[in-house]
Structure 1
Amino acid sequence: MSLDTVVEDIREEAHARAEDIRTEGEARAEEIESAAEADADEILESAEREVEREIEQLREQRLSSAKLEAKQQRLEARRDVLSQVREQVESEVADLEGETREELTRTLLDAASVEFDDGEDVHVYGRSEDEELLSSILEGYAGYEYAGTYNCLGGVVVESDQSRVRVNNTFDSVLEDVWEDNLREISNRLFEQ
């Protein structure tokens, strides 16, 4: 074998080896590229799922927030209507006149008088517009006297120094009790659904 033949054999062997290495490299590169594409597809799908989840979560939060805001606005509107109804009732009670006002005032005074013993000096207060009415009614009660004004819609505040008792039987206090006791029913009637 000549030197040229040996060189040629080595060269062919080196080319063959280089071709094998190149083929192996290409195959490995294809494997890496394929794995990278699969990873990229998986990452993309995961990111899309995450974005969809976040969008849905944001949609739910906004919907929940909108529902809460609408509920608060409904409640505020109901409170406003109830307040208007209350003011209207107070106005109508304050405007009661004649026999109706006298009868209610007498009833409230009678209910208050059970708290006081006979012979006590009893002071009765009422709204300034009812002074004449109260003075007239008190003529029938021994030891009772009109003692001055009380800021109210009507009715009486009765007290005695001897027993240290004070009874608030004003239209306001009765209205407050009736309003509180019947608020649910009032609301249901106003806002039937």
Structure 2
Amino acid sequence: MSLETVVEDIRDEARERAKEIRSDAESRADEIVADAEADAEEIRSDAEAEAEREIEREREQRLSSAKLEAKQMRLEARRDALEDVRETVEEEIAAIDGDDREELTRALIDAAADEFDADSDVSVYGRADDEALISDILDDYDGYEYAGERDCLGGVVVESETSRVRVNNTFDSVIDDAWENNLKEISARLFDEEQ
């Protein structure tokens, strides 16, 4: 075997080995590219899923905020409507006059009188415009006298120093009690809700 043949054999062997290495490298490169593409697809898929979840969370949050704001606006509108109704009631009650006003005032004084002893000196306060009416009614009660004005829609505040009792029988207090005790029903009727 000549040196040239040996060199040629080594070269052939080296070429074969280079082909194998190249083939292995290409296979390995294809695997790496395939793995990288699979990883990239998984990352893209995960990113899309996370983006979808984030969009859904944001949508839910905005929807929840909008619902809350709408509920607050509804409650505020209801509160305003109830306040308007109450103001109307107060205006109409304050405007009661004549025999109706006398009858109501007398009934409130009678109810308050039940709280005091017969021999008590009783002071009665009322709306300034009702002074004459209250004084006339008090002529029927021994020991009762008009003692001054109270800022109210009508009715009376009755008190006695000796028995240390005060009865607030103003139209305002009657409205307050009726309003508090019937607010749910008033609201239901006003807003057509079932009770």
* TM-score category, normalised to shorter length: over 0.9
Counterpart Cα distance in 2 of 1:117 and 1:186:
38
Counterpart CA distance in 1 for 2:175 and 2:54 is: 53
- Separation (CA, whole Å) in 1 of partners of 2:110 and 2:139: 13
Supply the AA of the counterpart residue of 1:190. Answer: L
Q: Does 1:14 align with 2:14?
A: yes
Q: Give the whole-Å Cα distance in 2 for the aligned partners of 1:61 and 1:122.
A: 63
Alpha-carbon RMSD: 0.7
Greater CA deviation, 44-53 or 140-149?
A: 44-53
Q: Any residues of structure 2 matched to 1:83-94 within 5 Å, and which? A: 83-94=83-94
2:65: which partner in 1?
65
SS in 1 for 2:103: helix
| CA positional deviation for 1:165 | 0.5
**TM-score of the two chains, using structure 1 as the length reference:** 0.98
Q: CA deviation at 1:126?
A: 0.2
What does residue range 107-126 of structure 1 map to in structure 2 within 5 Å? 107-126=107-126
**Corresponding residue number in structure 2 for 1:172:** 172
**Following TM superposition, by how much is the alpha carbon of 1:118 offset from its aligned partner in structure 2, in angstroms?**
1.0
Question: Deviation string for 1:79-129 (max 9, x for gaps)?
Answer: 001001100100111110001000000000000011110111100000000
Partner amino acid, structure 1, of 2:71: K
Instruction: Please list the CA deviations of residues 146-178 of structure 1 after superposition, one character each: whole Å capped at 9, or x if unmatched.
Output: 000011000000001100111100000000000
Which residue number corresponds to residue 82 of structure 2?
Answer: 82
* Runs of 4 or more consecutive aligned structure 1 residues displaced over 4 Å after TM superposition: none
Matched positions, count:
193
Q: Identity over aligned residues, as a percent?
A: 67
- Inter-partner Cα distance in structure 2 for 1:189 and 1:4: 114
Counterpart of 1:6, as a letter, is V
Match of 2:35 in 1: 35
Is residue 2 from structure 1 mapped to residue 2 from structure 2 by the alignment?
Answer: yes
Deviation at 1:64, TM superposition (A): 1.1
1:182 corresponds in structure 2 to 182
